[in-house]
Structure 1
Amino acid sequence: MNKVNLTVSGATNNELNALKAYETYINDLVKEYRDNGRYKEPYKVYISYQKTKKFYTASGIINILVIQYEYINPNTNKKVRFVYYPNDEYRYMAKFKYSAQVMQDSMIDYIAGTFRKKINYPSNQLVKYWLKRENALEQLIIQNEELLNKTKEFIKLLNKDKISTQMDSDDTYNTFRVKGKFVKKMIRLRIIRIFANDDYLLKGKKQNPKKPISMVAIYDIRNLGKSADNHKAIKVINEFNSQTGLINNKMAYVCDGARALKLEASILGMDYHLDLFHLIQNIDKYIGYKKHSKNTIKNLFIDYFSPTKKERWIDLLTKSIKENDYELYKETLDELEDLRLSVQSKSIKKNITSLLTYLKSKNSGIWDNQTRKAIVSYTENNINYHYKKLIKNSLAHYTEQTTKMKVLFSNLQKNIPTIFI
């Protein structure tokens, strides 16, 4: 299955006119045999039945005339029926309902999750049959393997002194269809990203240090209720880094700070970074006041401001983290501690205590010797963009095989090789 442009526009007037002209042309050939050609046969040919059949193309519908004839074989004295096919195109249209383009479009739509509002589009059952018949998953696996090998060679040749690397890791859960039953599993998605320094020339061009020059997606699908076994995943990651010359202790491990992920970073020997999205999200959970904050929290802190900066503490914390201002960060925490000790509200005390405990436990992922561990944060975007978006149909529970097919196809379109563990 080749890489294709998924954006398909509707048929133009010229295309529709051409379609109508072709319909007239092909039916005229059929009528020519019906009205004249059959009388030139060495035996009498009768019309058994005739019908108009709809054939669906990417540009519209062709109504073709299909006529079945019959004659008596003089040698066997038996009745013989046949359909006259003026050319191979007509033979295909008479035998099938959809054009090759419609078949390809519908298979791509199903894999990509694109739904086009077209009359009498193939059913999902038929599309899944085509995908199985065409060995779509096997084709995607082969293409992915080729891309993975090319990516490994590309990374291997990079000047390792002029690049930075990070691995973003996050978990989500999904329900798969397994032999008619629904089974919930955990998906851990790890994406390795490589960034070039702004003075690194690749193909004679300077690179944007915030835009990755190469990415690899690693999907780990696990059953629930079993102890997490990271040995296989760690082996796969170590093998990939060994094959490409990447060094674990020079790679940032970006995650939401979950214990299992921090442990994995430690085992791999990578530098743990708390991703910015989850950090700000958790601060908001305890002292937020904006629209998306919970009403119970919003009402608690909406009237509280820093006595020295005259700003709300969540804004000061966010500012200190984004602007790498450790002094402001420390001052804000000290003020929150003072408020915790002096305020009468038990709810405010509880929330501030929870926030300070959280930030203390995550400190090693936020700061390094009073310097913010600044890193481009992608973890939440990874799960949404590289997984959840692909299976967004809430009415469907896909099999693990179909999910892998969707993931492979999507990543191939983005030139991202995929590894399944």
Structure 2
Amino acid sequence: MTGTARILVLNCGSSSLKYQLFDGEQVVDKGVVERIGEPDGGPGDHAAALRSMAERVDLTGLAGVGHRVVHGGVRFAEPTLVTDQVVDEIERLVPLAPLHNPANLTGIAQARRLLPDVPQVAVFDTAFHRTLPPEQASYAIDADTAQRYGVRRYGFHGTSHAYVSRRTAAVLGRSPADVDVITLHLGNGASACAVAGGRSVATSMGLSPLEGLVMGTRSGDLDPAVVFHLERVAGWSSADVDRLLNQRSGLVGLAGAGDMREVLRRRDAGDPAARLAFDVYCARIRFYVGGYYALLGRVDAITFTAGVGENAAQVRAAALAGLDGLGIAVDPGRNDSGHGERRISPGDSPVQVWVVPTAEEYEIADQTRAVLGC
């Protein structure tokens, strides 16, 4: 990160507000306000949550506020200074991210009221993936329909993939422009990304964050005919299917638990459902790693990040098992020990495997500084 200015980063969810305050490179305050708008004791709305935060956090001398915005569509390929016109354009993207963009917009609106003299910057999850080539961004459906309704691959977790791929290049002692890396962001939401020379060239999430890897409650890749089948045979509505695929699928659908720690505990205790969930989860990752290896043609490193990626050694080992022929291997001793940023592949492995903790707020602060020139 360059510059020494104070930057406040806000990540506003439907019922939560996460924040980090940066003074130069240092995080000087951070926290989360939860249960916003809920009847059992949380702040009444996001305005109250921001006021509560402002009472506890020293916001003097701010150079800017960086906001996480999930969906930037095709319009926003870079972090952008917030204006009334930008707000209107983000609002027009709500149909593409109905669960996320409205909350992000609420955070922007309330922060502008609370800090009217401080410039605000929107940093988009999708922006890093605007470099996807047409053959990766396009779905094979009627082109006019796709154009009219914005049906294409957008990709998500962009701030994480950007930070982690750049950091991987740094630990390899090379420029991002000279490195090809596969980044695996494995949290409650999960996505893979192929990064060639610092640019996203393929990613597993698509029109929405539902596509791709198996997640805590989301299905990931699925035959679209499943939707029509449930509508015809079970009489389900589109809302019923939406709830199934977003809230009752993934690990929770297969094992009854969406937290990988609980899945591992049950698997180790001999639960066959948990064993299947683990195997499906890891097999999907391995499928994408192999595909992205073929796409890139050369891979310098594979990097695990986010809650599961950083902490679940069993997942890392199983996800890359059997890929020795591609020069990909995990050293058991390195994988099962240590914390933080570390290499977990053997010393002579052609493809290095790393764990790099993600720092999305750090990336948002960095991009905010770049926009503001501070």
**TM bin (shorter chain):** under 0.3
TM-score normalized by structure 1?
Answer: 0.23
Q: Higher helix share goes to which structure?
A: 1
Could you say which structure has the larger radius of gyration? Answer: 1
TM-score normalized by structure 2?
Answer: 0.25
